[in-house]
Amino acid sequence: MATDIGKYALSETEPLPGFARTWRGLVVPGLLFAGLLTLLYWTVAVSLVQQWWTDDNYSHGFLVPLFSGYLVWQRRGELSATRVRGHWSGWPVLVFGVVCLIVGDVAAENFLQRSSLILIIAGLVLVHLGTAAFRLVAFPLAYLLFMIPLPATIFYKLAFPLQMVAATNSAAVLDMLGVPVLLDGNVLHLSRVTLGVAEACSGIRSLISLLALAVAWAYLTLPGLLGMTILVAAAIPITIAANAARIVATGLIGQTFGMQYAQGFFHTFSGWLIFVVAFACLLAVHSAIRFGTRVWRGRHA
């Protein structure tokens, strides 16, 4: 009998006899909760998808839930082997999510309504599956925040300083290249053209997309928290420098050939090109982190 008892003293992530039946028993409640969440969030989800489609700042939103779903699917083996043990800590999270949904609906605050879905799902996971399962899906759930557009007040508080930084850096580079330039706020006056660094040219679009990419990339490929932090932090100066380069190129083309050549196709193409350049810079930082990690481990082996 002692031997029989001992063989059931498994770790939290090891399957117990009949454990598969426990997970199968959650299928019906899971479907019921999925249906209820669909009813509650249908209009919220439709407006969110419409913003992804119409707002270039958040077009990456289509990829975010796919990536989160991939991470959960990747851990399906660990999840199926995890002890299902609901935890009380999920109830405060669940209640807070419902409050955010109600307040967001009453105050017409889209960010609260949309982000409340993540809180409610997190609360449901804790209440029904427990802390072990929650740890496995915590990052995929947190990553879903990248699909939710920022509140307008926060967005413009970020965009305006980025506009000024982009204008200042661009003027400095043009001056170093010998191009006469007068900086007036976020407007660059050259001898033949005038460039206004608008909100769309602030670089915030590239910054949000590159941060989402950097976080996913760091999580998948870098083992240490320090390396992950460095890679994600590097996305900020890389984006700022790349955006300044785009404005400088626009100014040089407008100054040399005329502003009509710096608009239209070039403006759109340069946006994609600069993002590719920024990604290449991020790749270089990633390679440097991997190399530094190997050197450090070699010295401390």
The helix/strand/coil state of 181 is strand
In this prediction, residue 6 carries a pLDDT of: 42
Instruction: Supply 210's token pair.
Output: 């590159």
Are 51 and 58 contacting, i.e. CB atoms less than 8 angstroms apart?
yes
Location of structure tokens 């700042």: 57
Q: Output the tens digit of pLDDT for each of the chain's 301 residues.
A: 444 444 434 444 444 444 444 666 677 777 888 888 889 899 999 999 999 999 888 989 999 999 999 999 999 889 888 888 888 999 999 999 999 999 999 988 899 999 999 999 999 999 988 899 999 999 999 999 999 999 988 888 888 888 888 889 888 988 888 888 888 888 888 877 788 777 667 778 888 989 999 999 999 998 888 889 999 999 999 999 988 888 888 888 877 776 666 676 666 677 778 888 888 999 999 999 988 888 887 777 6
Angle between helices 265-299 and 225-257 (to 10 degrees): 150
Instruction: Supply 49's token pair.
Output: 């998808």
In this prediction, residue 3 carries a pLDDT of: 41
